[in-house]
Amino acid sequence: MASIHETMEALHEVGAIDKQTMRAFDDACLTPVESLSPEAIRALREREHRSLPVFARYLHVSKNLVSDWERGVKRPGGPALRLLTVIEKEGNQAIA
């Protein structure tokens, strides 16, 4: 995907594709982010063999917030959900 993106950038630079097309392509390259259930968040943390406080530090959030996610009191959103998606696909080392 990276080499295809590089080619698209080169085409954009020489004027073969317009800015709008490049933006649409950039958007298509993003990893889709879907909501995670409380059970999925806990399973993800356990799969990575991380305690609740350590997992929270990886995400730069409080352990209470991760606990709230795992109990369904709150739902992750924005950057936290993006980080959880990256961890789900590539493991904890992707953000370490």
The 10s digit of each residue's pLDDT in 7-61 is 888 999 999 999 999 998 888 887 778 899 999 999 999 999 999 999 999 999 9
Task: Give span(s): CATH 1.10.260.40, the chain.
Answer: 38-94
pLDDT at 57: 95
Give me the pLDDT at residue 5, please.
83
Please give the model's pTM, rounded to 2 decimal places.
0.72
How far apart CA 59 and CA 87 sit, in angstroms, is 10
Cα distance between residue 68 and residue 76, in whole Å: 9
Write down the H helix ranges in 14-62.
19-29, 38-47, 52-59
- Whether 69 shows a pLDDT value over 90: the answer reads yes
Residue 25 has a pLDDT of 87
Structure tokens at 15: 């004027």
Q: Which CATH architecture has domain 38-94?
A: Orthogonal Bundle (1.10)
CA–CA gap between residue 38 and residue 72 (Å, rounded): 5
